[in-house]
A and B are shown apart, each in its own frame.
Chain A
Amino acid sequence: MMRRKPRWWLYIVLVTGFVAMIFPFIWMLLGSFKTNAEIRSAPLNFFPENPTLENYVQLFGRLDFTTYFTNSVVVAVFVTLGNIVFSSMLGYALAKLEFAGKKVLFGLVLGTLMVPGVVTFVPLFVLTSNLGLVNSYPGLILPFLITPLGVFLMRQFILSLPDDIIEAARIDGASEWRIFLRVIMPLCGPAVATLAILTFLGSWNNFLWPLVVATSEDKYTLPVALALYSVGQNASQYGLMMAGAVVVVVPVLAIFIALQRYFVQGIALTGIK
């Protein structure tokens, strides 16, 4: 077999991509230690001239940070759990069970996937408001407990599992519940990890829904609170914004690192990202 030449160009592409992706991140991190005047100064300073913790002091002092952080965590955790439970249940049914109207149901799921969120936004809000859920945790969480993307992702993954193991379990007398919980779910690790990261990230970064549904400040999530304090009508506090962004990114990074192994596996297996 011919020995391959070292693919130096590949490294150039990778390094360029890496720098392009990491640069804004480093800029954000460095920016969080600069004063507002320094961030806007021309020519730009890459490294902070007089590093300051002022932005972080403001972030944790002036803002009711704990409340916003707790709200964000509560919402993101419940949304993620809901998606893991419900999306995999429906995904399993659509992949492996036979019942009347299955194709139509799957078509409906795909259909909702095609309708952009902005279209359903106002009707969804009207519904939430008619149910009296405005400015409450359920109002923030319920609409996102199950997402078509999650169902699709789980169905595609479960579809790839062999029917034989299900049939074997059935012959052994296991109920559908038991098959789902004991046979299918343990095999779904990579897909669940992917789903968990995607939904957590989606919920954590969600801005428009909490902005509209959380009508009082004690229900604001982090992104809404950050927009509130850092973006003014005439002047924005970029330093504070950067510091906030750093703090918002940390939990996501932690989760991603924890689930990274499964995540990559999940992408490879389902071909979905």
Chain B
Amino acid sequence: MNRWGSIAAMGLVGVIALTGCGRAEGGSTATSGAAIDAKPATGEVTVWAMGNEGEVLDQLATKFEDENPDVTINVTAVPWDSAHDRIATSIAGGETPDISMLGTTWVGEFAATGALEPTPEGLVDEASFFEGSWSTAVVDDVAYGVPWYVDSRVLYYRTDLAEAAGVEAPTTWDEYKAFALALKGGGATSGVSLPPGGFDSWQYVAPLAWQAGGDILNEDGTEFTFDTPEWAEAFEFYKSFFDEGASEAVRLEGGEIEQKFIEGSVGSFFSGPFHVGLLREQGGPDFADKFAVAQVPGADTRTSFTGGGNLTVFGDSENRDASWKFVRWLSQPETQLEWYDISTDLPSVQAAFEDPIFTDDPYLSVFAAQLADSKAPPAIPTWAQVSAVIDQELEKVTRGDQTVDAALKTIQQQADTIGTGN
């Protein structure tokens, strides 16, 4: 009896633990609430923002408080690494803030829980944002929040190596390949550094598919389209860099890539705007004129990958009026310029890029041009799972363990099984 008593008790604990995760399914039939008026905002608003944004948003919030004397904005900085877990848990526990910044790829997942409020009708003008960036906020034709800042990948290259090899920043795929081989001929071990596989390597191959005219989902956003000639072309082209030796099949993590680029063993790589500052800081003053950025090369288009941060308001917010007013204020071109000044985050509003800060800067102007032709992955809750399959199959292809056709077939099959989550 005694032993059985203990076992029964342990079993009971297990059952309790298993039943502990019951949360009502969030409805995806959300409709946007009442429109937001132009009156000053009042009350208290809690904002969660990650990392550097969380640290400096206070400075901007003070200005909003000056313009709206009856409002208090409480900014809480959340560590980037763990922000996703924290937001997910707070949704489960019903302890969400009024506003949270979200990584662009998280919107689909969190919108599916029903915790986010759709953007009120007429709050902002959709057309004022970069198209690729706005699409990160849209799930099933409903917009949740607005893009706050953007990030796009461009080509960083060593100007001295390019000059010595007699090549210029490439605009087409053919030029791109020749460019990478020329830099390699000029002494770099990798003409262009590309990850042969692993986490997030889909971010390198998806733009190639976009450039070839393909996409991840079909027009209605219901079916994956990986077994198409465009994706095959993208995979073949990506693979050829390793086969022809233009790229060493080594995955460089953040931190390594700057060093290799500065010492000259990496001739070029793709990255976002933050690398300009990092390279200046780590390369020292002598290095500043040895590198430049250029729009990514392309085929039909020169599409790049876009990411960044969005602002979302939670449905549980007790002060939705002031929350949306703050979000609206943050997405005005003037505020976005000030925000660039404070945070160096690139504005998500196109009009902000007409400012001389951007048009006159040799780096920033490239990002501005690239942003006009940038795309984000679809905002579907299953994207993390689907992209993991791409990462895995891409690695098999670049290693020569799998043919492109077979890999794409596998990706298509697995993606269909995982589904779009709708």
Q: Give chain A residues whose Cβ lies under 8 Å from the Cβ of B89.
A: 121-122, 125, 212
Instruction: Tell whether B92 is near chain A: CB-to-CB under 8 Å.
Output: yes
- Are B79 and A231 in contact (CB-based, < 8 A)? yes
In the complex, A231→B50 CA distance in Å?
10
- Are B82 and A211 in contact (CB-based, < 8 A)? yes
Instruction: Tell whether A123 is near chain B: CB-to-CB under 8 Å.
Output: yes
Please choose the segment from A69-77, A102-110, A164-172 that sits at the chain B interface, where 4 or more of its residues have CB less than 8 A away. Answer: A102-110
Q: Give chain B residues whose Cβ lies under 8 Å from the Cβ of A125.
A: 89, 92-93, 95
| A192-218 vs B, Cβ < 8 Å mask (1 yes, 0 no) | 000000000000000110011001110
User: Which residue from chain A places its CB closest to the CB of B21 in the assembled complex?
Assistant: A122
Instruction: Tell whether A128 is near chain B: CB-to-CB under 8 Å.
Output: yes
Known: A41-B259, A216-B74. A120 touches B20 (CB 8 A): yes
Known: A104-B6, A110-B6. A235 touches B77 (CB 8 A): no
Instruction: Tell whether B220 is near chain A: CB-to-CB under 8 Å.
Output: no
In the complex, A120→B278 CA distance in Å?
41
- Are B8 and A104 in contact (CB-based, < 8 A)? yes
Instruction: Tell whether A129 is near chain B: CB-to-CB under 8 Å.
Output: yes
- Are B5 and A107 in contact (CB-based, < 8 A)? yes
Instruction: Tell whether B54 is near chain A: CB-to-CB under 8 Å.
Output: yes
A250 to chain B, nearest CB (A): 22
Instruction: Tell whether B94 is near chain A: CB-to-CB under 8 Å.
Output: yes
Known: A228-B78, A231-B51, A233-B50. A126 touches B93 (CB 8 A): yes
Q: Is the interface of B mostly helix, strand, loop or mixed?
A: helix
In the complex, A105→B21 CA distance in Å?
24
A241 to chain B, nearest CB (A): 11
Within 8 A of B (CB), among A58-85: none
A221 to chain B, nearest CB (A): 12
Instruction: Tell whether A271 is near chain B: CB-to-CB under 8 Å.
Output: no
- Are A228 and B54 in contact (CB-based, < 8 A)? yes
Instruction: Tell whether B289 is near chain A: CB-to-CB under 8 Å.
Output: no
- Are A123 and B14 in contact (CB-based, < 8 A)? no
- Are B14 and A111 in contact (CB-based, < 8 A)? yes
Please choose the segment from B121-129, B182-190, B250-258, B366-374 that sits at the chain A interface, where 4 or more of its residues have CB less than 8 A away. Answer: B250-258
- Are A126 and B17 in contact (CB-based, < 8 A)? no
- Are A107 and B93 in contact (CB-based, < 8 A)? no
Instruction: Tell whether B218 is near chain A: CB-to-CB under 8 Å.
Output: no
In the complex, A187→B86 CA distance in Å?
43
From B10, B74, B281, A111 is in contact (CB under 8 Å) with B10
Q: Give chain A residues whose Cβ lies under 8 Å from the Cβ of B219.
A: none
In the complex, A122→B138 CA distance in Å?
28
Instruction: Tell whether A234 is near chain B: CB-to-CB under 8 Å.
Output: yes
Instruction: Tell whether B90 is near chain A: CB-to-CB under 8 Å.
Output: yes
- Are B79 and A227 in contact (CB-based, < 8 A)? yes
In the complex, A125→B11 CA distance in Å?
23
- Are A232 and B6 in contact (CB-based, < 8 A)? no
Number of interface residues of A (CB under 8 A): 44
| A224-260 vs B, Cβ < 8 Å mask (1 yes, 0 no) | 1001110111111000000000000000000000000
Instruction: Tell whether A1 is near chain B: CB-to-CB under 8 Å.
Output: no
In the complex, A211→B256 CA distance in Å?
29
Instruction: Tell whether B417 is near chain A: CB-to-CB under 8 Å.
Output: no
- Are B51 and A228 in contact (CB-based, < 8 A)? yes
- Are A114 and B10 in contact (CB-based, < 8 A)? yes
In the complex, A119→B14 CA distance in Å?
10
In the complex, A232→B94 CA distance in Å?
27
Q: Give chain A residues whose Cβ lies under 8 Å from the Cβ of B93.
A: 122, 125-126, 128-129, 134, 212
In the complex, A106→B13 CA distance in Å?
12
- Are A107 and B79 in contact (CB-based, < 8 A)? no
A209 to chain B, nearest CB (A): 10
Instruction: Tell whether A40 is near chain B: CB-to-CB under 8 Å.
Output: yes
Within 8 A of A (CB), among B1-58: 2-3, 5-14, 17, 20-21, 46, 50-52, 54-55
In the complex, A266→B201 CA distance in Å?
50
User: Which residue from chain A places its CB closest to the CB of B76 in the assembled complex?
Assistant: A216
Instruction: Tell whether B168 is near chain A: CB-to-CB under 8 Å.
Output: no
Instruction: Tell whether B80 is near chain A: CB-to-CB under 8 Å.
Output: yes
Q: Give chain B residues whose Cβ lies under 8 Å from the Cβ of A211.
A: 79, 82, 85-86
Q: Give chain B residues whose Cβ lies under 8 Å from the Cβ of A105.
A: 9
B193 to chain A, nearest CB (A): 14
B109 to chain A, nearest CB (A): 16
- Are A104 and B5 in contact (CB-based, < 8 A)? yes
Q: Give chain A residues whose Cβ lies under 8 Å from the Cβ of B5.
A: 101, 103-104, 107
Known: A107-B7, A128-B93, A234-B272. A227 touches B20 (CB 8 A): no
- Are B78 and A110 in contact (CB-based, < 8 A)? no
Instruction: Tell whether B274 is near chain A: CB-to-CB under 8 Å.
Output: yes
A71 to chain B, nearest CB (A): 14
Instruction: Tell whether B401 is near chain A: CB-to-CB under 8 Å.
Output: no
Q: Give chain A residues whose Cβ lies under 8 Å from the Cβ of B399.
A: none
- Are B13 and A217 in contact (CB-based, < 8 A)? no
User: Which residue from chain B places its CB closest to the CB of A124 in the assembled complex?
Assistant: B20
- Are B274 and A126 in contact (CB-based, < 8 A)? no
Instruction: Tell whether A45 is near chain B: CB-to-CB under 8 Å.
Output: no
Instruction: Tell whether A112 is near chain B: CB-to-CB under 8 Å.
Output: yes
Known: A125-B89, A235-B254. A217 touches B20 (CB 8 A): no
Instruction: Tell whether A20 is near chain B: CB-to-CB under 8 Å.
Output: no
Instruction: Tell whether A42 is near chain B: CB-to-CB under 8 Å.
Output: yes
Known: A41-B259, A111-B10. A126 touches B94 (CB 8 A): yes
- Are A108 and B80 in contact (CB-based, < 8 A)? no
From B6, B51, B85, B263, A107 is in contact (CB under 8 Å) with B6
Q: Give chain A residues whose Cβ lies under 8 Å from the Cβ of B2.
A: 103
B116 to chain A, nearest CB (A): 18
| B82-118 vs A, Cβ < 8 Å mask (1 yes, 0 no) | 1001100110111101000001000000000000000
From A40, A106, A134, B255 is in contact (CB under 8 Å) with A40
Knowing that A103-B3, A126-B94 touch, tell me 5 more A-B residue pairs with CB under 8 angstroms. A37-B281, A108-B9, A125-B89, A212-B85, A235-B254
> Contact residues of A with B, CB < 8 Å?
36-37, 40-42, 101, 103-108, 110-112, 114-115, 119-123, 125-126, 128-129, 134, 207-208, 211-212, 215-217, 224, 227-229, 231-236
12 contacts between A and B (CB under 8 A): A36-B281, A40-B255, A105-B9, A106-B6, A129-B94, A212-B90, A215-B90, A216-B46, A217-B77, A232-B80, A233-B51, A235-B254
Closest CB pairs A-B (n = 10): A107-B6, A123-B20, A111-B10, A111-B13, A107-B9, A227-B79, A129-B93, A125-B93, A228-B79, A108-B9
